[in-house]
Structures are given as structure tokens and as C-alpha cells.
Amino acid sequence: MSKPTFYITTPIYYPSGKAHIGHGYTTVACDAVSRYKRMCGYDVLFLTGTDEHGQKIELKAAEAGVTPKQYVDEVVAGFKDLWQLLNISYDRFIRTTDDYHEQSVQRIFEELYNKGEIYLGKYEGLYCTPCEAFWTESQLVDGKCPDCGREVKPASEEAYFFRLSKYADKLLALYEDNPEFIQPESRKNEMISFIKSGLNDLCVSRTSFKWGIPVTFDPKHVVYVWLDALTNYITALGFKNDKYDDYDKYWPADVHFIGKEIVRFHTIIWPAILMALDLPLPKRVYGHGWLLIGDSKMSKSKGNVVDPVILCDRYGVDAIRYFLLREIPFGSDGNFTNEALISRINSDLANDLGNLVSRTTAMSQKYFGDNLPDIREAEPIDDELINLAVSVKKTVEENLDNFQFSNALAEIWKLISRSNKYIDETMPWVLAKDESKKARLATVIYNLAECLRIAAVLITPFMPVTSPKIFEQLGVGDESLKTWESAGTFGLLPTNAALKKGETIFPRIDLAKELEYLEEEKNKAAAPEAKKDPLEGIAQIGIDDFAKVELRVAKVTACEPIPKAKKLLKLTLDDGYGTRTVASGIAKWYKPEDLIGHSVIVVANLKPAVLCGVESQGMILAADCGEDVKVVFVDGMTPGSKVR
Ligand code: MSP
């Protein structure tokens, strides 16, 4: 009989900058569910990937002086490295720049257009001419373009629209009939209010940037972000492409995990697109909370991101995975602090779990050598421990099936704490002194080892590196004792189990010292780097070489932006001998009126070059510290004067 399937997805992340622990949060959660479901016998497809198109990436690439594809290739490689480091067992990684995805999106767009679900209209917005960008009222900063600070004016652009507004009632009915569709519950109410306040049709194409998937029948348009992004969940299965043949097998998805800020896109736009395509809807969309630093969301744009590579190197991957899933109830926001992380490592991992492993294995070796003897003597006090051990699996499952990772771990830790208490109650070191208590002592250690085996099975989805270490110290080689199913039965460990103390699985951290160390590291990272003189390693030039450069005073007689290049200004100069044009990358710092009428210094004998369609005949001198640029003005000097 074929296995039941389970399809789970992360959002596809924007590769506009390095992956951070916030991205890791969703991905680790998906990974834990995937591992759990696989252990329960499901045929799991775990999809993740990257959302690579759009104006933001186009601009980032231009700033870095590379093509958008070169830019995303490098960032995406970093995402994949991080997933490897965090032990993410994804089955498929989709990039929206993959050919098969692009082809499917074009076909989906055509189908929606042919069905009348997409129509050509006008996108109205506030336009910044030099930046060639539309903004909404709320995006403006002090009423001006958030990028360059200049005036914006109302404008409209031809665009295709998806008839989202007509789905309002169907969406409300969907939530009503499927109470599980949006989770947690509180997010559902937000969506209902949003729909009731009125849905607009959705702009699904743009002509003002190029980095996107062209609309086949009108290629000056590229598909605008959400239609391209959301459809990844089906294109990755082979919907309207030949790359995969898994659509029938895995769709509809069992769950999409996403952060709360994109619940609207996943529970309004996405189901509406699927309804328009006459396709089944995902079973659940779970919008989890944010990892906060102080009161703000950790995000690239705020520059407050925590680097997961540094954390994993210092504390180990499983400690980080454990912390993320234990500390914050899935669905709520939670603060990331070094204190909280180290406290969790010390109390839950080093004290509770680590100690239980080392005490149990050390006592077994000390009192019985290589193997436990198969003599037994039970006492009533054992029953409570054993009953708890066999019932934990069920409570963990109930919590995991509802994505309550923190509660699931808390349940496992109840067994771990109860086992530690059992050591204090039974006092094996006292039993060891009495030869007649050998059978009782062996029973106590066996019970502890069996509780540890069950705990090790149950933590496997969360901590895939730690559980094999525990199995090894318990002498569990037999794979059938590591299965999810086996966690429901007590007494599977062989009676002559070979326990062996190994390395400490989670060493304790000195909190005060560690915080001091982290503070020093933070200060080091924040300290400005000693400036390296770029003269080092550059050949000196003689006076004859310098004399070859003809510098002269020139007056700016006219100046205007260059429509296709938001960084450049086109200057017309009178250099005393005639008129020349210069394209200069100073648009961020100067407006044309700041320059007209002033005298500048021009490199007059530079070979002309064409920049964004303008022939530039020279360069003007300016001081540049990266963040600020000041043109060298020599007002009052006659045009044509030599600069020596
Ligand atoms: N590309 C879109 C998603 C398209 S899905 C069809 C996008 N990308 S993103 O790079 O901004 O990533 C968003 C996701 O990263 C969030 O939904 C969330 O899952 C995760 N997180 C990013 N920062 C986070 C926190 N500070 N805290 C928790 N999760 C965070 O939106």
C-alpha cells in the first residue's frame, strides 16, 4: 500500500540580502514537522525556495554593479548553505528564476487572461520620474519619494489586473466552512475584517521595470510579484510544466507555513487565484509570529538581524533549533535575547537532558560494567514513571499535529524532569552499597535508560544531531528501537543493555562570562574598521604622467536628470573653448538647480564614453566618502582656466 502524502512549504524568501535567523525560524519549524511526519510513515514533500524577481532586486543588483541574476545567484547560495548548516531536510528548492517556473507562470497568466479573470487596466499611483517608480501614499516619506527624496506626482500606467474583488463572498464562505484553513484563529478575524472593508482588484503586471517574467502576449509587461511568487507552490509540483509530475500526488498542500505579515497574501489572494483556476485549495495556512529584537521585527532593512551561522558555530545547531521552537509559542511574537538562549541551553539542555544522560550511563558503567544484568525487581514507585513514559508520545503528537512545538517539547521535558526526580527518589548510590539490592538497582537504571530512549525518539524531529548521540550512549543500535512507533512502548531496550558514558552532550555555559564575551564581540563588530589607505599597493606616478591630465574650470550652463539612469545627471558645460556634455553619478546628492551657474573642474582630455545613451565628454571632480559626495566648486574662476 502506498504511503499517505504530506506536502508542507515555507514562504519563498527574497534573496535581497543574507539569510538571517528569522528566515531560519520558519524553515526549522517546517523541518521539524517534515521529520515528524516522515517518522510517522508519511511520504513527505517539503518545499522551500527563493522569490527572485522585482524592482527591489533589480535595484540592489544595479547598486552592486552586477546583473540581477548574478546578484541572486550569490545570495541564494548563502540561503542553501544556511539550510545545510541548520540540518534542513527539504526535498525540493524552487527558484522563481528557474525556467520551468517561468514557463508555468506564463501559462497560468494566459489561462487567467483567456478566462477573463485578468484584464488590462490602468495602475494609478504617485510616480517619481528620476527613479521611474510608483509609490503609494503610505510609502512616501514626508510626502516625497522614499528613495531619492524628490517630488512625486500622480500618474497612471497600463497594467493587467486580477479580478480579486469578485471573490470576497467565496473567501468568507471558505473561512466559514473550513475553520482550520487560517491558523491561528486570531489571524482569521483580521482577514474577515480586511475583506469586509472592501477588496480591490490586484495589479499583476508592471511595465516600469524589467526584472520579471514577461507576459507572453504583451511582453512590455512583466508579471508582478505575488502572482509569480504564490504559484511556486504548484509549479514546483509540475503544474503546467514538464519538470515534475507530482501535482496530482501532493496537491493540495497540507500546510503553508508563513510569517504573519504575509497571511493576507496566502489566505485572500492565493485561494482566489486557485479558485479562478478551478484548483483545490491548500488545507491550512499557518501564520506564525515574529522573532523580535527589542520591540522590532528582526529584518534586513532594520539592520538588527542575528546571524545564525555565528550562533550555530558557538552553541551547536540543535541548541538553536531547540531554542527557536521551545522559547516562543508558534503563532506569537517572541524576543530573541542572548540571556534567554543561554538560560535555555543551561537549564533544559545541559541540566535536564544532559545530566540525565550522563548520570544514567555513568551509573550503569560504574555499577555493572559493560552490560546491565537481566535481574529485575520492580517497585510501585516505578509505575508513575512508566505510565508517563508511554503516554508522552500521544501528547506530543496532539501538539505537533497542531504545530504547537513549544508544548510538544514541554511534554517531552516532563518525562526528562520526572526521570531526574526518579533518580533522587530511588537513590541508586544507596542501593549500590547493598549487595541484596542489585536487582532493584538494575531495574532503576533500566527504567531510566528506557525513558531516555523514548525521549531520544521524540526529540528526533527537533534535534536530529542530539538523538543519535543519546542512542549511542544507551547502546541502541537496532533501528526498530528508534522509530516513532517505538516511543509508545516501554521495555524495548534489551534487558542486558550496554550503556556507555560518552561526551557531554550539552556543556554548561557560564552565563555572566558568556554575556561579557558577546558584548565585547558586538562592540568589536560595531567599531569602525581602521581605514586602509588605498595608496598601499598602488604604483606611484611621475609628474610627467600627472601632467597628461588636462584639468580645467568649466561653468555648468544646463543640467537635467537622465530618465533611464536614476543615479546620473547630464551636465552641459562651457569650458572656455566650447560646450561639452558630461554624465555624472551625483543625482543622489545634487538637483540640477544646485549646479546650474556654478563653476566646476572637468577632466577635459578623458576619452568620451556613452553612459545610458548619453555621450559623456569628461568627468567633473568631486570628493566622495561613499555616503556623501561634494562637487568641487571654483565659482568666480573664468571658464577654461587651467587647474594645476
Ligand atoms: N517573498 C515573500 C514570500 C513569498 S511566499 C509565496 C517574502 N519573503 S521574505 O524574505 O520577506 O520572507 C518572509 C518570511 O521570512 C516571513 O513570512 C517569515 O516566514 C520569515 N521571517 C522573516 N523575518 C522574520 C522574523 N523576524 N521573525 C520570524 N519570521 C521571519 O515575504
Q: Do 356 and 475 share a domain, yes or no?
A: yes
C-alpha of residue 259 to centroid of ligand 1, in Å: 6
The pLDDT of residue 532 is above 70 = no
Q: Do 454 and 555 share a domain, yes or no?
A: no
Q: Do 548 and 635 share a domain, yes or no?
A: yes
- Nearest by Cα to 497 from 448, 542, 436: 448
The pLDDT of residue 534 is above 80 = no
The pLDDT of residue 531 is above 70 = no
Q: Do 369 and 474 share a domain, yes or no?
A: yes
Please identify, among 441, 464, 488, the residue that sits at the C-terminal boundary of a domain. Answer: 488
Q: Please report whether residue 49 resides in a domain.
A: no
- In percent, the amount of the chain with pLDDT more than 70 equals 95
Q: Do 358 and 473 share a domain, yes or no?
A: yes
CATH of the domain at 368: 1.10.730.10
Please identify, among 488, 511, 526, the residue that sits at the C-terminal boundary of a domain. Answer: 488
Q: Do 447 and 365 share a domain, yes or no?
A: yes
Region 89-117 average pLDDT: 98
Please identify, among 488, 505, 534, the residue that sits at the C-terminal boundary of a domain. Answer: 488
Ligand 1 nearest-atom number relative to CA 289:
28
Q: What is the DSSP code string of 283-318? A: S-EEEE--EEETTEE--GGGT----HHHHHHHH-HH
Q: Do 556 and 425 share a domain, yes or no?
A: no
Q: Please report whether residue 548 resides in a domain.
A: yes
Query: In this predicted model, what pLDDT tens digit does every residue of 346-362 receive, in sequence order?
Result: 999 999 999 999 999 99
pLDDT grade for 512, boundaries at 50, 70 and 90: very high
The pLDDT of residue 529 is above 60 = no
Structure confidence at residue 248 (pLDDT)? 98
Pocket test of ligand 1: the residue of 9, 10, 13, 56 to mutate, having most ligand atoms within 8 Å of its CB, is 13
Q: Do 443 and 563 share a domain, yes or no?
A: no
CB-based burial label for 454 (10 Å; 0-12, 13-18, 19+): buried
The answer to whether residues 98 and 52 touch, using CB atoms and an 8 Å cutoff, is: no
Q: Do 550 and 615 share a domain, yes or no?
A: yes
Region 562-579 average pLDDT: 86
Ligand 1 nearest-atom number relative to CA 260:
17
Ligand 1 nearest-atom number relative to CA 233:
6
User: Could you tell me the residue range of the domain that residue 398 belongs to?
Assistant: 341-488
Q: Do 350 and 476 share a domain, yes or no?
A: yes
The pLDDT of residue 193 is above 90 = yes
Query: In this predicted model, what pLDDT tens digit does every residue of 268-284 receive, in sequence order?
Result: 999 999 999 999 999 99
The answer to whether residues 79 and 14 touch, using CB atoms and an 8 Å cutoff, is: no
pLDDT grade for 132, boundaries at 50, 70 and 90: low
C-alpha of residue 98 to centroid of ligand 1, in Å: 20
- Distance between CA atoms of residues 406 and 113, nearest Å: 45
- Nearest residue by C-alpha to atom 14 in ligand 1: 259
Mean pLDDT lowest among 73-77, 204-208, 432-436: 204-208
Region 116-132 average pLDDT: 85
Pocket test of ligand 1: the residue of 16, 23, 233, 270 to mutate, having most ligand atoms within 8 Å of its CB, is 23
Structure confidence at residue 167 (pLDDT)? 98
The answer to whether residues 362 and 504 touch, using CB atoms and an 8 Å cutoff, is: no
Q: Please report whether residue 4 resides in a domain.
A: no
- Nearest residue by C-alpha to atom 19 in ligand 1: 259
pLDDT grade for 608, boundaries at 50, 70 and 90: confident
- Nearest residue by C-alpha to atom 29 in ligand 1: 22
Q: What is the average pLDDT score of the chain?
A: 92
Which residue ranges have their beta carbon within 6 Å of ligand 1?
A: 11-14, 22-23, 25-26, 51, 229-230, 232, 258-259, 262, 290-291, 297-299
The answer to whether residues 358 and 501 touch, using CB atoms and an 8 Å cutoff, is: yes
Q: Do 553 and 440 share a domain, yes or no?
A: no
Q: What is the pTM of this model?
A: 0.82
Q: Please report whether residue 443 resides in a domain.
A: yes
Q: Please report whether residue 470 resides in a domain.
A: yes
Cα distances (angstroms) measured from residue 541 to each of 126, 223, 546, 619: 51, 52, 7, 20
Cell numbers linked to 502 = 560518552
CB atoms closer than 10 angstroms to residue 248: 9
Structure confidence at residue 308 (pLDDT)? 86
- Nearest residue by C-alpha to atom 28 in ligand 1: 290
Ligand 1 nearest-atom number relative to CA 262:
17
C-alpha of residue 233 to centroid of ligand 1, in Å: 15
C-alpha of residue 11 to centroid of ligand 1, in Å: 6
Task: List, in order, residues 6 or more apart from 424 with CB less than 8 Å away.
Answer: none
Whether omega for the bond prior to residue 184 falls within 30 degrees of 0, making it cis, is: yes
C-alpha of residue 23 to centroid of ligand 1, in Å: 6
**Three-class secondary structure of residue 105 per DSSP:** helix
The pLDDT of residue 64 is above 90 = no
CB atoms closer than 10 angstroms to residue 599: 20
Structure confidence at residue 45 (pLDDT)? 98
The pLDDT of residue 137 is above 90 = no
- Nearest residue by C-alpha to atom 5 in ligand 1: 11
Task: List, in order, residues 6 or more apart from 289 with CB less than 8 Å away.
Answer: 259, 260, 328, 330, 331, 332, 333, 334
Ligand 1 nearest-atom number relative to CA 13:
10
Q: Please report whether residue 236 resides in a domain.
A: no
Angle between helix axes 168-177 and 185-196 (nearest 10 degrees) is 160
Structure confidence at residue 566 (pLDDT)? 77
C-alpha of residue 625 to centroid of ligand 1, in Å: 34
Domain count, the chain: 2
Pocket test of ligand 1: the residue of 88, 290, 335 to mutate, having most ligand atoms within 8 Å of its CB, is 290
CATH of the domain at 637: 2.40.50.140
Beta strands 5-13 and 92-95 are unpaired
pLDDT grade for 169, boundaries at 50, 70 and 90: very high
Ligand 1 nearest-atom number relative to CA 259:
17
Q: Please report whether residue 20 resides in a domain.
A: no
Ligand 1 nearest-atom number relative to CA 14:
10
- Nearest residue by C-alpha to atom 9 in ligand 1: 13
Task: List, in order, residues 6 or more apart from 406 with CB less than 8 Å away.
Answer: 325, 326, 327, 328, 329, 330
C-alpha of residue 258 to centroid of ligand 1, in Å: 7
pLDDT grade for 632, boundaries at 50, 70 and 90: very high
Q: Do 556 and 483 share a domain, yes or no?
A: no
φ/ψ of 248, rounded to 5, equals -65, -30
Q: Please report whether residue 346 resides in a domain.
A: yes
